[in-house]
Amino acid sequence: MNSEKPLVSVFMITYNHEKYIAQAIESALMQKTNFNYEIVIGEDCSTDRTREIVVDYANRYPEIIKPILHETNVGAKANSESVRKACTGKYVAILEGDDYWIDPLKLQKQVDFMESHPDFSMCFHRAIVVDELGKDLGYYWPKKSWAKQITYFEDIIERNYISTQTVVYRNNLFDKHLYNKLCDDLSFGDWVLHILNSLQGPIMFLDECMAAYRKTGYGASATTSKIKLAKDILKLYERIESHKFNGLPKERVSRFKKRQLLILARVYGEEGDFEAAKGFLKQSENYNKISLSLIKPAIAARLSIYYPKIYDVTIRIHRILKKLV
């Protein structure tokens, strides 16, 4: 690498990833490109040997690796923000410290697409899902059946099907203060990133598997309760609904907000808190319009509240059939 400004910044945050961080860094270093790139690593004062490993790599590759070494544990959001501010590339590629890339041409392929399609805000691809030891769990994210090539706001607002380690997006497309405002106190930030990018231009899916998503028993996705996650999604819809985005399809946002209220009613019903469940069900009824996509969550919510035994039996049967398919 020479002294020219990097075209791509690899965004990496890490905390207590002693067993995985070397593989993540190596998978970034193995990239074969015709452009410069930097690896910006936010190390959040780990209690294991993660920092030692990061420092060792930074000393060996000072022209590529830019470490941010926090003196105290600042938390995932603040760590992410520090890395985001330090990324100087035209493009940002995300790679968290427990995931890794499996294709040495990943960055080149994605940047080639972005350079030749300036109207696109972002691109992503498929990731294989592995366990803590890196063993293939036999499925992908998104699934092998996924065939939608171009994602717009109307698609990504429904649910997040984009895995972070597969993403390359244009740097500085949207207001970072708005991003922080939408993300404030939520248990996730990647989905918000994809939503805001989709408002700046379409997102392309490259039908290749070029990364591995490591499924572990810890981290934000593993430790967030169903209720907390469902409430956070509702909160995000409310924030998007209240913000005046240009050309925002409000009816679609309102429909997914209603769906989320029904999901919360169901989840509270499953927990046996029928009072709270009825409250969310009542809120959902403030939205008069109902579509075919809302019939299933509406039925599930009412069954979990008013006929919990029937609901439990239905869920058991569903799980058995799912295993047989």
Residue 119's Cβ-side half-sphere holds a number of Cα atoms within 13 Å equal to: 4
Contacts of 6 (CB under 8 A, 6+ apart): 35, 36, 37, 38, 88, 89
Q: For the chain, which ranges sit under pLDDT 70?
A: 1-3, 217-224, 246, 288-290, 325
pLDDT at 325: 57
Tokens of 142: 């998104």
Domain tally, the chain: 2
Q: Are 311 and 268 members of one domain?
A: yes
Tokens of 219: 């981290």
Q: Are 280 and 214 members of one domain?
A: no
pLDDT tens-digit readout, 74-97:
999 999 999 999 999 999 999 999
Q: 162, 196, 222 — which closes off a domain?
A: 222
Q: Are 155 and 236 members of one domain?
A: no
Q: Are 45 and 81 members of one domain?
A: yes
Q: Are 240 and 207 members of one domain?
A: no
DSSP state for residue 6 in the 8-state scheme: P
Helix (H) or strand (E) holding 65: strand 65-69
pLDDT tens-digit readout, 232-271:
999 999 999 888 776 777 788 888 999 999 999 999 999 9
Q: Are 104 and 241 members of one domain?
A: no
> Which residue range is the domain that position 279 belongs to?
225-324
Say if residue 118 is preceded by a cis peptide, omega within 30 of 0: no
Residue 1 lies in a domain: no
Q: Are 60 and 194 members of one domain?
A: yes
Q: Are 231 and 217 members of one domain?
A: no
pLDDT at 43: 98
User: Which residues are registered as beta bridge partners of 209?
Assistant: 126
Tokens of 105: 């041409």
Q: 205, 222, 239 — which closes off a domain?
A: 222
Residue 3 lies in a domain: no
d(CA 90, CA 171): 5
CA 233, chain centre distance (Å): 13
pLDDT at 201: 96
Q: Are 113 and 176 members of one domain?
A: yes
Q: Are 204 and 236 members of one domain?
A: no
Residue 259 lies in a domain: yes
pLDDT tens-digit readout, 262-289:
999 999 999 999 999 999 999 998 876 6
- CATH number assigned to the domain comprising residue 206: 3.90.550.10
